[in-house]
Amino acid sequence: MGGVQGEDGQMWNRRFRPAGAALSLVLTAALLAACSPRSAPKDEKFTVRFTEVIHSIFYAPQYVAQAKGFFADEGLEVVSSTAQGSDRGAAALLAGTADIAMVGPETAVFVHNQDSPVKVKIFAQLTARDGSFLLAREKPEGEFSWTDVKGKSIIGWRPGSMPQLVAEAILRQHGLDPETDLEYIDNLAATAMVGAFLSGQGDYIQVFEPSVSELVQGGHAYLATYLGADYGEMPYTAFLATDKFIAEHPDVIQRYTNAIYRAQKYIFEADPKVVAQEVAQFFEGTDVEILASSIQRYRDEGGWVHTPVMKPEDYEKLQDLMIAGGVLEPDQRAPFDAIATNRFAEEAVRQVK
């Protein structure tokens, strides 16, 4: 989820064991900190504590639902925070410090395979593919080919995260070994990546909008390729809650999903410039024209799903990616029904016209 970051499990291959151990510690700490569930009379506005993997226009439907009052129409007040990683987003859910998280759906698989007595479940899908782009420091000579990165360095995302898994999968598809044929810089915080690139580090950088438009329009980089188009469709970002919260507050989950579906419909119908003006409040310091071009780019490239319903076959493609990336053992595949429910998404599609 962002971009979107995932987390690693404790039983995966040698390359990911340190990250997996860190995740286990995060989740354990979260469970120890867990508190009793909140409750509120149904006739009162319910405050939803929401956390996002990172802050990006890639998640525009969430911001549209806030800006347009779709959540308010459903009797919800959304208090937002940024987790800076799907592992931290999952930890917030397990600790009871967040009610709903917008993170990579792989998070639910990882938690499912942990010893945690509390599980998390996907109830709505947001994005349809990877939202990151590869930018080059030097203008490519002719049409970009992934073989151009051989012997070069890419500022990328941390091991086990969705952007990293997708990037490595694409590299392997083009006959490149991510470990030996190039340097994939995966030890920078998401907030430090652009600054590192501007200071001269990396031949390429893998980033999301609006950083893409800012770097390109600022003359600092050249657009090489869109990883979402190169890899194809898959559930990349979704909304999750604990199974306990869903059981105790199904009405809240339904209302939240209704608002998201309204936003999904709106973002495909409205002028990107209008959408940009409406969500600009969430991107202080970013030019509205850049936001508009970012929204247009993601819409044109098929970055968003049209409904919050997740297809089981797409979920299996996600697990295929995780296995290929070495962060999930084949015998750790989790059944769709254990990880996700389309109950609320399907009802939203029926209710919202």
**For the segment 81-115, what is each residue's pLDDT rounded down to a tens digit?**
999 888 899 999 999 999 999 999 999 999 999 98
CB atoms within 10 A of CB 202: 24
CA distance 108 to 101: 11
| Residue found by looking up tokens 């389309």 in the block | 342
- Maximum CA pair distance of the chain? 63
pTM for the full predicted model:
0.86
Phi-psi region of 127 (alpha: psi -120 to 50; beta: other; left: phi over 0): beta
Q: Are 243 and 64 in contact (CB under 8 A)?
A: no
d(CA 186, CA 226): 19
* DSSP structure class, residue 149: G
DSSP SS3 for 206: strand
> How does DSSP classify residue 340?
B
Distance of CA 50 to the CA centre of its chain: 14
pLDDT, one tens digit per residue, over 209-252 is: 999 999 999 999 999 999 999 999 999 999 999 999 999 999 99
Burial 117-129 (b: 16+ CB within 10 A, else e): ebbbbbbbbbbbb
The residues near 62 (Cβ < 8 Å, ≥ 6 apart) are 50, 52, 102, 126, 260, 263
Tokens 């390109």 belong to residue: 216
At 225, list the tokens. 């390729």
Q: How many residues does the chain have?
A: 353
Q: Give all domains of the chain, ordered by start, each with its CATH number.
A: 14-129+234-351 (3.40.190.10), 133-231 (3.40.190.10)
pLDDT in tens, the chain (353 residues): 443 333 333 222 323 333 344 454 445 444 444 444 444 444 579 999 999 999 999 999 999 999 999 999 999 999 999 998 888 999 999 999 999 999 999 999 999 999 888 999 999 999 999 999 999 999 988 999 999 999 999 999 989 889 999 999 999 999 999 999 999 999 999 899 999 999 999 999 999 999 999 999 999 999 999 999 999 999 999 999 999 999 999 999 999 999 999 999 999 999 999 999 999 999 999 999 999 999 999 999 999 999 999 999 999 999 999 999 999 999 999 999 999 999 999 999 999 98
Instruction: Extract the tokens encoding 339.
Output: 């990880």
C-alpha distances in Å from residue 353, one per residue of 212, 273, 346: 34, 24, 13
- Looking at residue 290, its amino acid is I
H helix intervals, the chain? 17-32, 60-67, 70-73, 86-95, 106-112, 162-173, 193-198, 211-217, 227-231, 243-248, 250-269, 272-279, 288-300, 312-324, 336-339, 343-351
Residue 62 structure tokens: 């969430």
User: Is there a contact between 106 and 2 (Cβ–Cβ < 8 Å)?
Assistant: no
